[in-house]
Amino acid sequence: MININKTVQYTLISVGGLLMTSSAVYGANLNLDWNNTTFVAGGLNQTFSVGQGEVNLQFSLKNGSSFASFERVSTPRLTQTLTGTNPGVSLHLQRKPSTDQNNRGSIELKTSFLRYNKSIVKGLTFDIFDIDRSANLPTSGTPNPSTWQDRVIVKGFLGGNEVTPTFTIFDTNNVRKVGDFTLDGIRNVGNTANGGNVRVSFADSIDSFILTFTDNPSLVTTTSPSSHGIGIGSMSFQTVPEPSMMSGLLLFGFLGLAGSKKKSSN
């Protein structure tokens, strides 16, 4: 005779084990949420605890480019200015380009994921706000005079090897993808509009990424370029579980399933 209580008990164990196994395979879902984070304005090297690990942001200034203040406060800093219609805050980078017409310089942001299993994360996703240009780029002929043009380059890395991101451009009339890693603002977009926004995601695992904020020198026609900014949204990602956790939960799940089948046959 089948013992219904034991069958149910073992079935619950097997299902519970398999559910935990599924969670272990995909890891924890984490979020570096700027709305719940303290960021020191003007700080160029900051680390944030997220889950069991840390996210480090390190800024470098290249070839004469520099950070500019916004509303009399040094950037990088958190503001509600460059977020489109998103009601939250973003990490505001206000950049002063170099006056060298052949090299406008850049701001480089390296984001590293630390103290996670192998320092690897999966499924990283974040938004970049307000990629645009001071003057609209005509469809043909000579470009309109422009004092700045946002160019953003994003590259992921895993063990020193490049990982290509996926760009979801909100409005291709305003932002153009140039190759695998580069985005150009080609029209002027208001700070509170979504037309200059792009979602960046990585389907593959990474241990870091580098975001470079610069100008397209061929489209900036003045010797005195103006400061301009972009916003970087909150970052969501998934951890990779420890191998010992995966193997233990797999064993637990399969033993529970085997026990369920054995009891059901009695």
> Quick one: 45 and 15 in the same domain?
no
> Quick one: 136 and 96 in the same domain?
yes
Residue percentage of the chain with pLDDT more than 70: 80
Confidence of residue 14 (pLDDT cuts 50, 70, 90): very low
Closest CA to 233 of 74, 67, 34: 34
pLDDT, residue 141, reads 80
> Quick one: 44 and 161 in the same domain?
yes
Give Cα 86 to chain centroid, integer Å. 16
According to DSSP, residue 35 is labeled G
pLDDT in tens, 88-130: 999 999 999 887 777 789 999 999 999 999 999 999 999 999 9
> Quick one: 93 and 196 in the same domain?
yes
> Quick one: 10 and 130 in the same domain?
no
Residue where the block lists tokens 């191998």: 243
Residue percentage of the chain with pLDDT more than 90: 65
Residue where the block lists tokens 């009891």: 263
Residue 189 tokens, joined: 């977009």
- In DSSP terms, 30 is beta-bridged to 237
Q: How far apart are CA 86 and CA 263, in angstroms?
A: 55
> Quick one: 62 and 5 in the same domain?
no
Mean pLDDT (whole number) for 58-77 = 94
| Contact status, residue 253 vs residue 42, Cβ threshold 8 Å | no
Using CB atoms within 10 A of its CB, is residue 233 exposed (0-12), middle (13-18) or buried (19+)? buried
> Quick one: 16 and 127 in the same domain?
no
Q: What is the CATH number of the domain that holds 152?
A: 2.60.120
For 77, phi and psi rounded to 5 degrees?
-160, 165
> Quick one: 182 and 254 in the same domain?
no
pLDDT, residue 264, reads 53
> Quick one: 105 and 140 in the same domain?
yes
> Quick one: 228 and 254 in the same domain?
no
Residue 145 has pLDDT above 70, yes or no: yes
pLDDT, residue 217, reads 74
> Quick one: 3 and 90 in the same domain?
no
Mean pLDDT (whole number) for 3-12 = 48
Count of domains for the chain:
2
Closest CA to 199 of 150, 133, 129: 129
| Contact status, residue 32 vs residue 50, Cβ threshold 8 Å | yes
Q: Which long-range contacts (CB under 8 A, 24 or more apart) does 201-204 make?
A: 201/123, 201/124, 201/125, 201/165, 201/166, 201/168, 202/122, 202/123, 202/124, 202/125, 202/156, 202/163, 202/165, 202/166, 203/123, 203/166, 204/122, 204/156, 204/158, 204/163
> Quick one: 19 and 118 in the same domain?
no
Closest CA to 179 of 154, 204, 143, 205: 154
pTM of the model: 0.82
Greater model confidence, 213 or 221: 213
For residue 129, give its domain range. Answer: 29-240
* Interior angle at CA 152, CA 114 and CA 84, nearest 5: 90
Mean pLDDT (whole number) for 216-223 = 74
pLDDT, residue 49, reads 98
pLDDT, residue 74, reads 94
The secondary structure of 147-191 as a DSSP string is: S-BEEEEEEEEETTEEE--EEEES-TTTEEEETTTEEEE-S---T
